Amino acid sequence: MLKLGFLGPKGTFSQEAMLQYAGGLKDYKAVEYGTINDLLLSVQDNIIDEAVVPIENSLEGAVNATLDMLASEVDVKIKAELAVTIRQNLLVAKDTDMKDIRCILSHPQAIGQCRKYIDSKFPGVQIKYVYSTAAAAEEVAGGDGSLAAIGSMAAADVYGLKVLAKDIQDGDTNITRFVVVSKEDGVRTGRDKSSIVFSTEDKPGSLYRILDIFNLWDINMTRIESRPAKNQLGRYIFFIDVLGHREDDDLADALKMVRRKVSFYKFLGSYPCLKEGYSAIER
Amino acid sequence: MLKLGFLGPKGTFSQEAMLQYAGGLKDYKAVEYGTINDLLLSVQDNIIDEAVVPIENSLEGAVNATLDMLASEVDVKIKAELAVTIRQNLLVAKDTDMKDIRCILSHPQAIGQCRKYIDSKFPGVQIKYVYSTAAAAEEVAGGDGSLAAIGSMAAADVYGLKVLAKDIQDGDTNITRFVVVSKEDGVRTGRDKSSIVFSTEDKPGSLYRILDIFNLWDINMTRIESRPAKNQLGRYIFFIDVLGHREDDDLADALKMVRRKVSFYKFLGSYPCLKEGYSAIER
């Protein structure tokens, strides 16, 4: 049976992503982890077979913990990606009403995603940042009736809370992209994407020269993300997603050239593209 | 008298950065703010004259709240930059010793910066994430003696705590870069940097073509950072720092060309380069 890891606690959108991916599996066992680090290390160490981890949100940006682990701490490959629409809700204890709310709790990202709703409905309310939307729901469940959490419908179920308002996020485009990691990446489907991470030499024009290689081979870049190299302020590593599979002739040749021109290179995997909501913006 | 805003509470590294910048001022009044949003809006609305805000850390990366505000929420300019070395310390109540510590509190970034120290000295200790290093220190000051905070020496002073271990961060390269924002940017010094933010049309090669412009005019790029465009997964805006002042002929011409080729463009300011620890890596 396939052991499939996800980032707990139950009731977060990471569990929802895991269930969405598991819907296509015959037989699996879900394993809950407390941190992205432990989750990815367990795949590397063969304790679990695959893991579903968040990598990017359409409002809040990159999930740095995932990028940093993939770049330098674990040797695993991306075999699939999936997108989950994030819908935030106002969750309260059974006998709490709008007028009773004195303090709103959630993860800073969730608070940020509902900023306009909070400012219009609860001007001046106290905001308390906690480590996860599920932790906020748990605290509200044990609170005195003046608290509200921002979180998922699943969190309302898990902690027995009432949903006072649905879909309170600013805008309708709050989507988190997750990747499935394993010891091997995906097989070629003809509609694939590949991810690499690299650092360039410390001289002018070095990033430009790498993008020039993709331009030369007509390879579309869908994403570039920089992260600090961590050894010096002003030095970076770059995550790039390009269209194509590592077995495609052109991409194979381009990546071979990229490897020559960089000071650090790591291939993160080829995997089928998401079918919707994700277009090629760059070459 | 110049009103100079900073991100509170007192005892954080943002206050340290403000004091470092204020050291070069004749006469000023420090004004404490609770959020980056309020701080930047107050500069725009002429409530304060200047503000010191964090923009990038050498281990943890970009400060997203600052980038997002500068891109789309406020009309202010960067007039200076400065770097502050972050030194984390283990702070406890007066009568707490190493063996008494059951729980370590801090901001997730500070915990992340001291991960190796915590794992080696306190394997299995409970970790509690709070919203700032100063909030952690405050909680330890009011706690039962089994708590420790990770934070600045200034926080130890402010909350009357004992410093049990100094410089516990992983590596010696933990530096935060701050920018000073105002209604006007910096005057030309001959050793300047300029910041812009833009988004490209949604077609292949559009980012490459922008970097091509800087290459054509021999302009060095020191940083590229992407943030989600927030209207669709897979669309981004790009922050780019280049060497030169907007009054330099070549940079003026290059930026004029960039404006032609992008769908959104905002100039964020020209300002003197940091003298150390910050080199031109890209063109």
Quote the number of domains for chain B: 3
Query: pLDDT tens digits for B90-141?
Result: 999 999 999 999 999 998 878 888 988 998 999 889 998 887 788 899 999 9
In a shared domain, residues A70 and A144: no
Contact indicator for B63, B16 with CB cutoff of 8 Å? no
Tell me which residue in B211, B227, B278 faces A233 most closely, judged by beta carbons.
B278
What is the b/e burial string over B223-253, where b = at least 16 CB atoms within 10 angstroms of the residue's CB? bbbbbbbbebbbbbbbbbbbbbbbebeebee
In a shared domain, residues A233 and A282: yes
In a shared domain, residues A111 and A60: no
**What mean pLDDT is predicted for residues B238-253?**
97
Name residue, tokens 């509170």: B8
**Which CATH number belongs to the domain containing residue A103 in this structure?**
3.40.190.10
Chain B's closest residue to A83, CA to CA, is B233
pLDDT at A275: 59
Distance CA B206, CA A282 (A): 6
Contact assignment for A64 to B60 by CB distance below 8 Å: yes
* Backbone φ, ψ for residue B194 (5° rounding): -130, 145
Averaged confidence pLDDT in chain B = 91
Q: Where are the alpha helices (DSSP H) in B45-146?
A: 64-72, 108-113, 115-121, 133-141
A231 touches chain B (CB under 8 A): yes
Number of CB pairs, chain A paired with chain B, less than 8 A apart: 153
Query: pLDDT tens digits for A200-225?
Result: 987 788 899 999 999 999 999 999 99
Residues 126-145 of A with CB under 8 A from B: 129-131
pLDDT at B211: 94
Q: Is the pLDDT of residue A278 over 70?
A: no
What angle, rounded to 10 degrees, do the helices at B206-216 and A206-216 form? 130
**DSSP3 helix / strand / coil % (chain B, rounded to 5):** 30, 35, 35
Last residue of a domain, one of B138, B155, B184: B184
**Host domain of residue B28:** 1-86+174-184
Distance CA B182, CA B117 (A): 39
Q: Is the pLDDT of residue A283 over 50?
A: no
pLDDT at B275: 59
Q: Is the pLDDT of residue A194 over 90?
A: yes
**Residue among A105, A10, A112, A18 nearest A61 (CA):** A112
In a shared domain, residues A97 and A154: yes
User: Residue B226: which pLDDT band, with cuts at 50, 70 and 90?
Assistant: very high
Chain B contact set for A263 (CB, 8 A): none
Query: pLDDT tens digits for B184-204?
Result: 999 999 999 999 999 998 778
pLDDT at B132: 79
Averaged confidence pLDDT in chain A = 91
In a shared domain, residues B229 and B273: yes
Query: pLDDT tens digits for A168-188?
Result: 998 778 899 999 999 999 999
In a shared domain, residues B213 and B272: yes
- How far is B1 from chain A, CA to nearest CA, in Å? 30
Distance CA B156, CA B150 (A): 10
In a shared domain, residues A179 and A78: yes
In a shared domain, residues A74 and A110: no
pLDDT at B282: 30
**Which CATH number belongs to the domain containing residue B223 in this structure?**
3.30.70.260
Least confident of B51-55, B119-123, B236-240: B119-123
Q: Is the pLDDT of residue A232 over 60?
A: yes
In a shared domain, residues B216 and B278: yes
Query: pLDDT tens digits for A46-69?
Result: 999 999 999 998 888 899 889 999
Distances (CA, A) of B184 to A160, B75, B76, B180, B281: 53, 10, 7, 11, 27
Q: Is the pLDDT of residue B276 over 60?
A: no
Chain B's closest residue to A276, CA to CA, is B233
User: Residue A266: which pLDDT band, with cuts at 50, 70 and 90?
Assistant: very high
Chain B contact set for A171 (CB, 8 A): 230-231
ipTM above 0.85, yes or no: no
B60 touches chain A (CB under 8 A): yes
Percent of chain A with pLDDT over 70: 97
In a shared domain, residues B206 and B250: yes
Tokens of A252: 């194979």
In a shared domain, residues B150 and B125: yes
In a shared domain, residues B34 and B122: no
